[in-house]
Structures are given as C-alpha cells and as structure tokens.
Amino acid sequence: MKALVYLGPGKKFWEEKRKTMKSQIIILNTMLVFVFSFGVIHNCNAQIILDINDLPVASDIQISIKVNGLQAATLSPGNAGINVQWDFSNLNPCCGTPEASYDTVVWGDHASTANAGYFPLSDIVRKENCFTYHSHVTHQDETQCYFSHYVKDTMGLWRYGMEDPVNFLFVSYWNFFPLLSFGDSLKTITKIHVPVSNDNIRVYHILSTSVADAWGVITTPDTTANVIRIYTAEIVYDSLYVNGKLQQNVVYAGNYYYRWYAKNLGFPVLEIAKGMQTQQPPFDQQVRYSSHLNTLLSVPENDVSDKVRIFPNPFSSFINIYFGENNKNSSLSIFDATGKTVMKITSVNSEYKVQASELSPGIYFYEIVNKQKEIFRGKLIKNNY
C-alpha cells in the first residue's frame, strides 16, 4: 500500500472554512414543516425540510437498483416546482432482475477503520466496491474494499477523503448530501489531487451549485414517498501536470445530479446523475433508485397497533401476524437484515402464522400491503432458543 499523500490544508483551515460556508446559504423562502414518515402512505402531499437527522448513520445499509443503460440515458428528471408528481414506476433494472442490479453500500463507524487516523475530522465512512483476490504474499484469498470518509454538519454530508486498496487521498470538502430547504442554494469549490507517478499529478477542480428546486411526491418501482429534490450543476476542470508543468486541461461543463430525498432515509430515493460523484470522465447519464428494502433498515417502524398485530415478538416457536378484517387479501413480505427477501405471500386473508423452522435466528423486517395500498412495516426477532 502506498504512503499517504497529503495535498490539502490542515484542520484549522477546514474548521474556518466550515464556518465561512454557512454564510453562503441563501434563504429565499420560509416553509412550513410537515411531519413525514415512510409508514402509511397518505394521499395528502407535504413539503419536507431536511435536517442533520436525515443523513446516514453507521450501520445503515444502502441498497440501490441500477437502471438499464438505454432507459438511463434517455430518462428525463421531470419538472421543478411545488407539489410536483413524479412517476418513475416503469424503471427497469440494468441486468434483467432487481437482484442482479443491486448496488449495496454499507455505512460504518469511521473510528473502526484501519486508517481512521489519516482522516481526523471524519464522522462516518462509506464502504463499497469490495472485491476478492488471491494474494501471492499470504497465498490466501484476500478481500479489499474502497472507503470514502465523510464529515457531517448542519449543511449536509461532506466527502472529506478517499481510501482505496492502493493509496490514500485527501480531498477538499465536497458536498455529497446538501441539507437545503425548498428554494435554498449552496455553492462549493472542490479540488482533488491524484498522484499518477513520481512526477505526474492529476488535478480535478470542481465547481458545484446545488439548489432545492422542487418538492412533491415520487413513485418508483419500490415505493411512493414525499420528497424534496436537490439539483446540483457541476463543472469539472481536469488537468494533468508533469514535473509541475500543465500538459493537459479538459473542461467538462454541463454535469448534473438530480436527487430526490425523503425524511429519515439517509440517501436518495432516486438519483439521475452525470458527474464526478458517480463516475470518472468521460461522463454519461446514470440512474439508480433505492430498493424499498433499505427503508426497513433505516426508518422506524410505523404504529400498526390499530390495524396489524404481531405476537409474540420476539418469538421462539412461531409468530402470528394478524391483518384485521379490513385488510383481507393483503401481501406479506419478510426480509433479512441485508434486505434479501426470505418469504413472500401474495394473498393473506386475515392472519398468517410463521413457523420458527422457516427462519434462522436473527432480526427480520416485514412489509404488509393491503388493497388500499396502505403499507405497514416493522421488525421481527427470532430468538436463538
């Protein structure tokens, strides 16, 4: 593994920059705060306001479905404005089935990573793109992962540093999840220094402007949710220096990210992106949407006591799931802690009994959908005894 390359200012600089950048947020409108939950989906639409509690936390598992290339290339992000209805229910997975199109990201505790000391300001780490290879040193299969280190504050989630199996990089703050209310905007300037060799260095200079340009209700193949949309425009200056002299300078103008955020989820419900945060140049449009399974992992279960009853829970021999007389012909799905479907019943009259032999000990999540398209979610616990 190569040594750390420090190419950015120190801790004091960033602390001062964080204070300065707070003044860059331009408040254009004052909006009413409405409470939203991923529980029962109501017909009324509500404008939401994001806050620091909407950012990802350690132990979140983010499962996204990648959309097929042809549809992704031509998909329109839809209108901006207030109380907009976006229908993306006809999105198709990239690889034939949602399971084959899974893109899984695990958010973890920054302090638990082996190289945490190189990123002293980081609050949370994102692990992704793990791969296994055979080491000619240990003569065993080894697993390596890529890590991105982030700082969380009242303005959002900032990408602070990158770590991969061959080197470490410091980058200047890069807003990854802007916390904006409808009409707010935020400008950022980011530099990324990438050592190519002893005398070659590649520098990305990135100008970004984010604005919360819309709110309303979005429908994807996996969910319907009240959301706020944040549009980010991006210009990338890609420069190569050899022995300190500029050899190449390419400008990528017109990059963008459209991201729809819901309360409490921690990552976008849908993302339409063409930019540095999702790929390397040259760029094309890519689309992915959150599998509804991950909402079960990061959103508190709704109160279902008046319509759905689960007992006993935790359970050892069996568990009864009572739907109620008004929820006949409902569907029942049960997922494990990674979001994998372990049981699916398409039609249940009023009650269903799950035998202990059908599930291994552990934590599970259920989802019930009735004929009125109301959604009930919660947690099941199978004991070890």
- Residue 168 is predicted with a pLDDT of 61
332-356 per-position pLDDT tens digit? 888 876 677 888 888 877 788 888 8
- Residue 7 is predicted with a pLDDT of 41
What confidence category does residue 41 fall into, taking pLDDT thresholds of 50, 70 and 90? very low
Asked if 339 and 236 sit in the same domain, the reply is no
Q: Domain for residue 72, yes or no?
A: yes
Report DSSP state, residue 328: T
Q: Domain for residue 377, yes or no?
A: yes
Q: Domain for residue 3, yes or no?
A: no
Report DSSP state, residue 84: E
What integer best gives the mean pLDDT of the chain? 78
Asked if 198 and 336 sit in the same domain, the reply is no
Query: What CATH number is associated with residue 373?
Result: 2.60.40.3080
- Residue 384 is predicted with a pLDDT of 64
For residue 1, pLDDT beyond 50:
no
Least confident of 171-180, 196-205, 233-242, 349-358: 349-358
246-301 per-position pLDDT tens digit? 988 999 999 999 999 998 888 999 999 999 998 888 899 999 999 864 344 333 34
pLDDT-above-70 percentage for the chain: 77
Q: Domain for residue 303, yes or no?
A: no
What confidence category does residue 29 fall into, taking pLDDT thresholds of 50, 70 and 90? very low
Q: Domain for residue 351, yes or no?
A: yes
Asked if 76 and 149 sit in the same domain, the reply is yes
For residue 12, pLDDT beyond 60:
no
Higher-pLDDT residue of 28 and 2 is 2
For residue 357, pLDDT beyond 60:
yes
Higher-pLDDT residue of 241 and 100 is 241
- Residue 5 is predicted with a pLDDT of 39
Domain boundary among 246, 267, 298: 298
Q: What angle do CA 52, 57, 62 make, to 5 degrees?
A: 115
Asked if 331 and 352 sit in the same domain, the reply is yes
Tell me how far CA of residue 7 lies from CA of 10, 43, 176, in angstroms.
9, 51, 20
- Residue 236 is predicted with a pLDDT of 95
Asked if 319 and 201 sit in the same domain, the reply is no
Asked if 265 and 316 sit in the same domain, the reply is no
Q: What angle do CA 154, 159, 164 make, to 5 degrees?
A: 150
- Residue 133 is predicted with a pLDDT of 67
Task: Name the token pair of 184.
Answer: 């707010």
Asked if 145 and 26 sit in the same domain, the reply is yes
Q: Domain for residue 187, yes or no?
A: yes
Q: Domain for residue 247, yes or no?
A: yes
What does R_g of the chain's alpha carbons equal in angstroms?
A: 23
3-state helix, strand, coil in the chain (%, to 5): 10, 50, 40
Domain boundary among 272, 298, 324: 298
Single pTM value for the model? 0.66
Query: What is the rounded distance in angstroms from the CA atom of residue 378 to the CA atom of residue 217?
Result: 23
135-183 per-position pLDDT tens digit? 777 777 766 677 889 999 999 999 888 876 555 666 678 899 999 999 9
What confidence category does residue 191 fall into, taking pLDDT thresholds of 50, 70 and 90? confident
Asked if 73 and 217 sit in the same domain, the reply is yes
Amino acid (1-letter code) at residue 193:
H
Count the domains in the chain.
Answer: 2
What confidence category does residue 35 fall into, taking pLDDT thresholds of 50, 70 and 90? very low
- Which domain range does residue 28 map to? 11-298
Least confident of 214-223, 312-321, 324-333: 324-333
What value does the mean pLDDT take over residues 299-326?
67
Higher-pLDDT residue of 358 and 26 is 358
Higher-pLDDT residue of 281 and 87 is 87
Domain boundary among 254, 269, 298: 298
Alpha helix stretches (DSSP H) within the chain: 11-22, 69-74, 293-298
Q: Domain for residue 333, yes or no?
A: yes
- Residue 208 is predicted with a pLDDT of 96
pLDDT-above-90 percentage for the chain: 32
- Among candidate residues 163, 183, 158, 187, the one with its CA nearest the CA of residue 173: 158
